[in-house]
Amino acid sequence: MRSTDLRFRIGIGIFAAALLLIVVAIGITLANDSSLSLQRFGFRFWRTSNWDPVAGEFGALPFIWGTFYSSVLALAIATPVALGIAVFISELCPQALRAPLMFLTELLAAIPSIVYGLWGIFVLVPAVRAIEALMPEGLRALPLFSGPPFGVGMLAAALILAVMVVPFTSAVAREVLKTVPMTQREAAFALGATRFEAIRAAMFYARTGIIGAVMLGFGRALGETMAVTMVIGNNPQVSLSLFAPQYTMAAVIANEFTEAANALYLSALIEIGLVLFVITLLVNVLSRGLIWSMAPP
Amino acid sequence: MMIRKIISAVFVGACGLAVVVALIPLAFVLFFVLSQGIQSLNLDFFLHNPRPVGETGGGMANAIVGTLILTTLAAAMAVPIGILSGVYLSEYRGSRFASAVRFAADTLNGVPSIVIGVFAYAVVVLPLGHFSTLAGGFALGVMMIPIIARTTEELLLLVPNTLREGALALGATRGRAVFSVIVPAALPGIITGVVLALARIAGETAPLLFTSFNNAFFSTSLTQPIASITVQVFTYAISPYEDWHRQAWAGALVLVAIVLTCSMAARIAAARIVRIRGL
Amino acid sequence: MTINGAGATFPYPIYSKWFSEYNKLHPDVRINYQSIGSGGGIQQVTNRTVFFGATDGPMNEDQLKGAPGIMHFPTVLGAVVPVYNVAGVSELKFTGQALADIYLGKIKKWNDPALTKLNPGVKLPATDISVVHRSDGSGTTYIFVDYLSKISPQFKSDVGVSTSVKWPAGVGGKGNEGVSGLVTQTPGSIGYVELIYALQNKIPFGSVQNAAGEFVKASTDAVTKAAAAAAATIPEDFRVSITNAQGAGAYPISSFTWILLYQDPMDKRAGNAMVDFLKWALTDGQKYAPDLGYAPLPANVIMLEQAALDRIKVS
């Protein structure tokens, strides 16, 4: 009896180990294949902005900048919307509407990234270009709005990322709000709170989980590739301007990987992949930790 | 008191507004995909391969077949590993090894798909010496594994303990109890999870860019590059040719149709199972 | 048998035509070409992840060292043209210096005196010039910057000559397709693409001043004239630049485009098929060139190439 149980455990344990092995293998492969670039450039890689494949100079600061700027912007736009949806679905809407609304938000998440990118190129970018062209001269002088109205650029990328992040954050926030005991809300109502105040109390109770949900959305935005590649303009520069074409870590790998014509170039791109891997890992771990402290798996 | 009520009303309104704001891009995207795509959806699209620039009548037959082959490959790799990992995670919940595996699964879930593409390039393309369907299937499979593992785990946990206890009381070994009783009880839900994972990866582009690459011809070979709907849509979208743009929308429509049908079917099935089983 | 190749977007229209026509003649040979840019072509063929590469920028010494035994075979001649999207303007004249200064970011507006002087009678607006270049490693870029570096020493030192350069300004499009797309969609923009992309998408393109001082608009004729001088003295490995060519009527931003094949391929059958394909392309295939905006190769170059093809070890 014991031995068959043990064999069973080992038998399926091998498959579970395969999962673990894959993750470890990813980390090791990335680290190994970027060693050339790591050794050559060290930390300079992340402090300099000069991405010059011709001269063999690889400064990846613009990519980190572009990735974080676009993701933070996306978060700023998406978080209120996502939380609003989560609150609406879980606290405010009539029972009949609940299932259809949940279905619709999941639909947002199901649309493939390339389709968002396609829509981005042909619909969003011209719209953003029109907005940029309409900007009054006075605002144009600000660094936030400077530059010719390409349409492609940081603003378009942030908008598309926001659309893609909303369903993620809202689904997790909904789950988190579900774990808030009814007693919290009942107590608030008993004390004469308005709906807003009761919900605020519930959200305060669930704050760590909600922060976790927001961070999960952040992690999603950091790694998004196709939709961003098609609308961000592909220019490795560090710029504050929403109108400026910029670049993200995922986008540069997608665009330049097949043409890295020498070992150093390839290694530099893989190093970017390694850092992307580590950053998303950290963000995901942190967010999951926050969520689990509220709602253990 | 009045001001508090007003604030509350404004808040409620804002939440409703948030829903509307989120649904606007959804409607927008679906509208464009439908209206632009349907114009270019014809028999040529489904039966023909891409034609050179300037010739009409080209289609995405090879890409549709390619996506099917790639997702099948990915499932062949991911379903065994994913389901059995999920079984381990639910059976041996408390152990440290299970915690490590769970952590790995959640990590893998969050790894950007482009990074997985880089991994597949290093592990399959370089040793093999060229781009291949196998490499693409591998990359997609790696993405599927954690999704399947976690859904399987969660579904197995929902199976009432009485079932397990009954099986064990009748003298079944652990393995028997799991595979003959518990897994079949959760099977419909597990299949739903697999279908959802398939829908998710059928829409992936980034991991295929430098693994399965692309192929202008019709091909089913595992060791040759293969076309896929997603990569083809990408190639067409960034081109300057009107005809190719139209085909890109058509491809997007086909993609969205596949993904949404699978997701919807899976969810409806899951909901019915929950209702029937009372899980 | 499927033969995989990758590389330049510049000749993609004619290559896709050739591979399709050749497949009709030899149904068992399928040549799968993906246009990912010349840089990609060089890299993939160096790694042998594809059987042949294609590039508009010949490989430099370092790259040749990485791919021992690689041979260059010119296939057609093409032209890189400056395309633009300025309301109400269809014909513009440029000098090499003006183009260099635009891409250096020194000329920022369409009504800059440098441009108005060249184009009296054309109403140029006071809008910013939105510069579009390639985001990927590109032979089209190589041809363009090769020409600009010959004209402008500052361009040569600030930007340099390669398939992938550090652009001082502008937005990057992926492939000739990406640049054409961006220019057609962005008012006030300027870009550089292979002639056929401008013709097929009806994007206005300008004439460029050549070494003889004439303003020439790209055409198969003008490109052929540019190659005439170089054809007589083409080096044995066929790596030569014909930008800013001497001679009347020559278009200054012309170039050969090459297919890269190993002299000693690992797959002999595929090697045999490629040699046969190239011999067809150099003879029958050339007739498809003018319709697609490319110029056929000079006769003596074709003869030299046939001889070189025979040196490929296919048995």
Whether the per-residue pLDDT at B60 is higher than 60: the answer is: yes
- Inform me whether the pLDDT recorded for A67 exceeds 90: yes
Residues of B in Cβ contact (< 8 Å) with C17 = 52-54
Question: Is B130 within 8 Å of C17 when comparing Cβ atoms?
Answer: no
Q: Is B279 helix (H, G, I), strand (E, B) or coil?
A: coil
> If pLDDT is split at 50, 70 and 90, which confidence band does C174 have?
confident
Residue with tokens 């020493």: C153
| C-beta atoms of C62 and A53 within 8 A | no
* Inter-chain residue contact B203 with A20, CB threshold 8 Å: no
Contact C145, C165 (CB under 8 A): yes
Q: Does B241 touch chain C (CB under 8 A)?
A: yes
Q: In this structure, is residue A28 part of a structural domain?
A: no
Buried residues in C209-244 as b, exposed as e (16+ CB within 10 A): bbbeeeebebbbebbbbbbbebbeebeeebbbbbbb
Nearest-by-Cβ selection for A118 from B175, B206, B248: B248
Check B256 against A111: CB less than 8 A apart. yes
Most confident of A130-139, A183-192, A230-239, C97-106: C97-106
Any A CB within 8 A of C5 CB: no
C-alpha torsion sign, points B231, B236, B237, B239: positive
Cα of C164 to nearest chain A Cα, Å: 6
Q: Does A56 touch chain C (CB under 8 A)?
A: no
Smallest Cβ–Cβ distance between A255 and the set C135, C170, C186 belongs to C135
pLDDT at A1 over 60: no
**Closest chain A residue to C127 measured between Cα atoms?**
A148
| Percent of chain C scoring above 90 in pLDDT | 30
Interface contacts (A, C; CB < 8 Å): 88
Question: Do C7 and C42 contact (CB within 8 A), yes or no?
Answer: yes
The per-residue pLDDT for range A80-135, each reduced to its tens digit, is 999 999 989 888 788 888 888 888 888 888 899 999 999 998 889 888 888 887 88
Mean pLDDT over residues B171-178, rounded?
Answer: 81
Q: What is the CATH number of the domain that holds A133?
A: 1.10.3720.10
Give me the residues paired with residue C52 across strands: C5
Confirm if C292 and C196 have CB atoms less than 8 A apart: yes
Sheet of C93-94: strand order equals: C93-94, C207-209, C215-216
Residue A59 lies in a domain: yes
Which chain C residues are closer than 8 Å to B215 by Cβ?
2, 32
Mean pLDDT to the nearest integer, B224-245: 84
CA distance B13 to chain A (A): 9
User: Best interface-test mutation with C: which of A252, A258, A262 has the largest number of C CBs within 10 A?
Assistant: A258
Tell me how close the Cα of C258 comes to any Cα of chain A, in angstroms: 17
Query: Could you state, in order of their start, the residue ranges of all structural domains in chain B?
Result: 62-277
The DSSP line for chain C is -EEEEEE-STTHHHHHHHHHHHHHHSTT-EEEEEE--HHHHHHHHHTTSSSEEEESS---HHHHHHSTTEEEEEEEEEEEEEEEE-TT----EE-HHHHHHHHHTS--BTT-HHHHHHSTT----SPBPEEEEESS--HHHHHHHHHHHHH-HHHHHHT-SSSS---SS-EEESHHHHHHHHHHHSTTEEEEEEHHHHHHTT--B-EEE-TTS-EE---HHHHHHHHHHHHHT--TT-----TT--STT--SSEEEEEEEEESS-S-HHHHHHHHHHHHHHHTGGGGGTGGGT-BPPPHHHHHHHHHHHTTS---
Residue type, B190: I
Confidence of residue C301 (pLDDT cuts 50, 70, 90): confident
Kindly state whether C64 is in contact with chain A, defined as any CB-CB distance less than 8 angstroms. no
Distance of alpha carbon A257 from alpha carbon A58, whole angstroms: 14
**Residue A21 in domain:** no
Judge: A108–B28 Cβ closer than 8 Å, yes or no.
no
Nearest to A89 by CA among A194, A21, A14, A176: A176
Question: What percent of chain C is predicted at pLDDT more than 70?
Answer: 100
Mean pLDDT throughout B27-52?
87
The ipTM estimated for the assembled molecules is: 0.87
Decide if C65 touches A, using CB distance below 8 A: no
Q: Note the pLDDT of residue B128.
A: 87
Domains contained in chain A, number: 1
Q: Is C20–B126 a contact, with Cβ atoms under 8 angstroms apart?
A: no
Residue B277's pLDDT is 62
Which ranges of B159-228 does DSSP label H, i.e. alpha helix? 161-169, 174-176, 183-202
Identify the band that residue A261 occupies on the pLDDT scale cut at 50, 70 and 90.
Answer: low
Q: What is the DSSP string of chain A?
A: -HHHHHHHHHHHHHHHHHHHHHHHHHHHHHHHHTHHHHHHHTTHHHH---EETTTTEE--HHHHHHHHHHHHHHHHHHHHHHHHHHHIIIIIS-HHHHHHHHHHHHHHHHS-HHHHHHHIIIIIHHHHHHHHHH--HHHHTSGGG-S---S-SHHHHHHHHHHHHHHHHHHHHHHHHHTS-HHHHHHHHHTT--HHHHHHHHHHHTHHHHHHHHHHHHHHHHH--HHHHHHSB--------TTS-B--HHHHHHHHGGG--SHHHHHHHHHHHHHHHHHHHHHHHHHHHHHHHHS--
Question: Whose structure tokens read 């579009």?
Answer: C132
**pLDDT given at position B263:** 82
* Under 8 Å between Cβ of C53 and C67: no
- How many C-beta neighbours within 10 Å does residue A192 have? 10
pLDDT at C204: 93
Instruction: State yes or no: pLDDT of A211 exceeds 60.
Output: yes
In whole angstroms, how far apart are CA C304 and each of B191, B257, C224, C232, C238? Answer: 63, 54, 17, 11, 9
SS (H, E, C) C159-228: CCCCCCCCCCCCEEECHHHHHHHHHHHCCCEEEEEEHHHHHHCCCCECEEECCCCCEECCCHHHHHHHHH
Contact A264, A152 (CB under 8 A): no
Is the separation of the CB atoms in A165 and A78 below 8 Å?
Answer: yes
Label residue A296 by pLDDT band (50, 70, 90): low
β partners of residue C134? C173
Question: What band does A218 get if pLDDT is binned at 50, 70 and 90?
Answer: very high
User: Does B52 score more than 60 pLDDT?
Assistant: yes
A31: confidence class by pLDDT, cuts 50, 70, 90: very high
- pLDDT at B189 > cutoff 90: no
- Using the Cβ of C137 and the Cβ atoms of chain A, whether some distance falls under 8 Å is answered with yes
The residue range of the domain holding A93 is 34-292
The verdict on A125 touching C (C-beta cutoff 8 Å) is yes
Highest mean pLDDT among A90-99, B7-16, B233-242: B7-16
pTM (2 decimals)?
0.86
- The answer to the question of residue A255 being in a domain is yes
Residue B208 has pLDDT above 70, yes or no: yes
CATH top-level class of B62-277: mainly alpha
Neighbours of chain B (3+ CB pairs under 8 A): A, C
Confidence grade of residue B216 (pLDDT, cut at 50, 70, 90): confident
CA-atom Rg of chain A in angstroms: 23
CB contact under 8 A, C177 and B239: yes
What type of residue is A264?
L
What is d(CA B232, CA B205) in angstroms, rounded to the nearest whole number? 9
- Whether residue B240 and residue C184 make contact (CB cut-off 8 A), yes or no, is yes
Bridge partners (DSSP) listed for residue C55: C258
The closest of B128, B136, B108 to B210, measured between CA atoms, is B136
Does B48 contact C at CB distance below 8 Å? no
- Looking at the partner chain, which of A55, A245, A261 has a beta carbon nearest the beta carbon of C42? A261
What is the model's pLDDT at position A295? Answer: 64
Residue A262 has pLDDT above 60, yes or no: yes
**How close, in Å, is residue C219 to chain A by CA atoms?**
30
* C-alpha to C-alpha distance for B67 and B212, rounded to whole angstroms: 10
pLDDT in tens, B75-132: 999 999 999 999 999 888 888 899 899 989 988 988 999 999 999 999 998 888 888 9
Using an 8 Å CB-CB cutoff, list chain A residues near C170. Answer: 235, 245
Q: Is C52 on the interface with B (CB under 8 A)?
A: no
pLDDT tens per residue across span C108-164: 899 899 898 998 888 888 888 889 988 777 778 888 999 999 999 999 888 878 777
* CA A193 – CA A182 distance, rounded (Å): 14
